[in-house]
């Protein structure tokens, strides 16, 4: 059999999807059977980058993507205070690394998008510190804001894996005004704390008037849905400096105090 004949003889075998290397077979990797593998890949890709940058712990900032620095007075204030907090936390928390191998603590981490997320990343950037953006694919594609550190800007398909990375290194949580997504993230962390599935971390809700108007905490207590002591899981603050103070009062340790 000539080489030409041989090439024709096994052309179907060479073209078959089953002959593709598994690691290079896109159809296979995106199939239902590989969902667990994709989940693991999303975990490990971000994990490797965070370790390379020495990120040991984070301060997570949640808040609405719809808040802009040029919005109405209240929106502009929320944006500015989130920006200021990103700077304060980065300067005082331990996000800088003095030498190779030294860890970073309390690095600002957000959902990576616009609004409050952008503001917190911007504050960290203005302080000269790295910050993290944990983006997620959405029907109307979310694009990363321009202030998160490029090497620490991630994109997830699975909300669950994004949530895990947001929570697993968190030394503290700051929740600015937001909607469904912010409420989802906030109550998830509160539930983990309430059930002792997560270690004690300070949680601060920004703008007490906003949160008390959105959630009637007293009614939850009145009907026995939560204990009065559960209200001790979080504190309120109305400016960036007070947020930092409340985090420290709740047990947050700046880098120099971590043993």
Which pLDDT does position 56 carry in this prediction?
96
Which pLDDT does position 231 carry in this prediction?
96
Which pLDDT does position 259 carry in this prediction?
44
Which pLDDT does position 257 carry in this prediction?
52
Estimate to the nearest angstrom the gap between the alpha carbon of 132 and the chain centroid.
Answer: 7
Which pLDDT does position 7 carry in this prediction?
66
Query: Is the CB of residue 179 less than 8 Å from the CB of residue 214?
Result: no
Q: Which of 166, 180, 194, 225 is nearest to 63 (CA)?
A: 180
Mean pLDDT by 10 residues, the chain (259 residues): 73 88 92 93 96 96 91 90 98 88 94 96 97 89 89 95 94 97 94 92 98 97 96 97 98 71
Show Cβ contacts of residue 42 under 8 Å, excluding neighbours closer than 6 positions: 156, 157, 158, 161
């Amino acid at each position: 059999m000539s080489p030409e004949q041989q090439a024709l003889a096994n052309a179907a075998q060479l073209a078959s999807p089953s002959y593709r290397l598994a690691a290079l077979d896109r159809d296979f990797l995106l199939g239902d059977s590989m969902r667990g593998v994709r989940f693991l890949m999303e975990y490990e890709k971000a994990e490797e980058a965070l370790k390379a940058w020495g990120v040991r712990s984070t301060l997570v900032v949640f808040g609405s993507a719809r808040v802009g620095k040029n919005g109405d007075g209240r929106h502009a204030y929320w944006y500015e205070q989130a920006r200021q907090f990103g700077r304060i936390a980065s300067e005082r928390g331990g996000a800088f690394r003095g030498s190779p191998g030294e860890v970073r603590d309390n690095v600002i981490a957000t959902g990576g998008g616009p609004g409050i997320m952008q503001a917190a990343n911007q504050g960290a950037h203005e302080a000269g510190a790295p910050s993290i953006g944990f983006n997620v694919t959405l029907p109307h594609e979310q694009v990363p804001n321009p202030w998160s550190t490029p090497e620490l800007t991630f994109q997830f398909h699975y909300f669950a894996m994004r949530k895990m990375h947001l929570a697993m290194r968190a030394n503290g949580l700051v929740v600015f005004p937001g909607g469904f997504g912010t409420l989802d993230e906030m109550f998830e962390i509160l539930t983990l704390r309430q059930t002792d599935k997560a270690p004690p971390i300070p949680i601060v809700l920004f703008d007490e008037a906003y949160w008390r108007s959105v959630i009637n905490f007293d009614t939850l207590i009145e009907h026995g849905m939560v204990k009065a002591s559960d209200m001790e899981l979080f504190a309120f603050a109305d400016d960036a400096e007070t947020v930092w103070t409340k985090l420290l009062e709740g047990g947050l340790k700046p880098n120099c105090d971590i043993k």
